[in-house]
Structures are given as C-alpha cells and as structure tokens.
Amino acid sequence: MNEQKFTGKADLYEKFRPSYPDGLIDFLYDNTRCDNVADIGAGTGKFTRCLLKKPWKVTAVEPNADMRGKLAAIEGITVVNAPAENTGLVDKSVGLVTAAQAFHWFDEERFRTECGRILTDNGKLAIIWYNDVKEGLAARQTEICNKYCLDLILNNGHAGKRSAEDGDKFLRGGYFTELTVEEFPGERIFDRESFIGETLSRSYAPKPGQPNYVLLIDELNALFSEFESGGSAVVKTQTVCYLGSF
C-alpha cells in the first residue's frame, strides 16, 4: 500500500468524500452475522463509521498518519497503525474484512494471504467500490482530471492499475473461491464547494502550490457552472460490493 499518497488530504477526504448506502451494510451483516470486522485501508473512517450501525466489534487498520488522525476521533472502534498486507491482527480473529475504496493500493496477493491468516474459518472479505456513473458532469470531470492531474497521467491511471471494467473482471475471475456481487445505485448532490473539494481529495489531484492546481480549479468551476441548477448538480452513482471467501 502506498502509505503517503493521502498525506495532506485528510481534511478534504473527511469533509467531501461520500458515505455508503445503508443497504450495503445490511447486506454485509445479513451475509456474515459475525462478531468482528476489520476495515483495512480505513482512511479517515468514512466506511468504518457505517460499520458501527451493526453490533460488530470494529477494528480500523490504516498506515497513513494524517488519515489515522481522523479515525482516532471515532468512538467505539480500535485503530491499528499497519499496512493491509501485514495488519498484525491475531490469526483467525476476524469474521469479516472490508476494503472500501482502498483495494487498488494493496499488493493483491499478499493481502489475500493476510486475509487468509486473520479470517475465521467461515470468514469473508468484502471489496467495495463506489463509482460515479461516467456521464454528463462526471464524465467531463474525468476529462479535466486527465488533463491536469500529473500523478494520474504519469502513472497510467489511478494507482497505475486496472480500469474499473478490468478490475471487475479480475475480482470475478478467480481472486475468490466463492463470490457474491451486489450493486447499489444512488446519487450524489454537489454544491460548488463539495464538487471541487471532492476532486481535490483524490490521491492524484495536485495540492496548493503544485503544477496545474489553479488551472484545475478554474476548469472545475467553469464545468460546475455549466451543469448546476439552483446551486447544485446531481451525479448518478453505483456502489459495488464483492463479498467472497477463499
């Protein structure tokens, strides 16, 4: 896991990244009924907080100090400073492992080995993605990021890995022994601040003082003005959960 990618972005991430649908949490609980869950690559705890809606004992594993500082403010969880591939959790101690919007940062094979070590015999891994449907505002936002975000350009895409389509094929194609996939459609409503802030919270977005930062914000402002109505704009979303075992 690249542990420094989000250094300096925790405030933006916490303020502007979305939460997750209640239906997803119900789905995970109904399909595991376990006691303990470990949220790996937990970031600022956007997904970790959702897990507290069920009577799980929740552990959040996050190696980035900036992001982990936000986790420390969440009551009712245990916070662990560790990478995804070497969590330090006890063997066979967790009934559910979750990785929400984080799996692309992991060494996939080492992470699978670690899950096999810490999961109980009937334990499961949930890999979760939320994605904006790439049409209208979201499609144009992606074009602007491809134009101005040097990290995205130089690393051949987000985290230098697969497209969303190829990632779906990878997860369905043998990463798990048994797999259930569930999708949760929704929408996000942005105002101007949250639209720009969410973009800047991304790992590849430039920070203040870096090349293209001002140009990126200028084009995002112009784009939002084109699509907004009454100060807000709506983007369709799709949250996908890959729940499997090994």
Residue 200: φ, ψ to 5°:
-70, -20
pLDDT tens per residue, range 5-17: 778 889 999 999 9
State the Cα–Cα distance between residues 126 and 98, nearest whole angstrom.
5
Question: Is residue 167 very low, low, confident or very high in pLDDT (cuts 50, 70, 90)?
Answer: confident
Residues 6+ apart with CB under 8 A from 80: 59, 60, 61, 62, 87, 88, 89
pTM: 0.92
Give the pLDDT confidence of 83-141 residue by residue, as tens digits.
999 999 999 999 999 999 999 999 999 999 999 999 999 999 999 999 899 999 999 99
**Averaged pLDDT for residues 16-26:** 96
Residue 172 DSSP symbol: I
The conformational region for residue 33 under phi > 0 = left, psi -120 to 50 = alpha, else beta, is: left
Q: Which two tokens stand for residue 155?
A: 């690393």
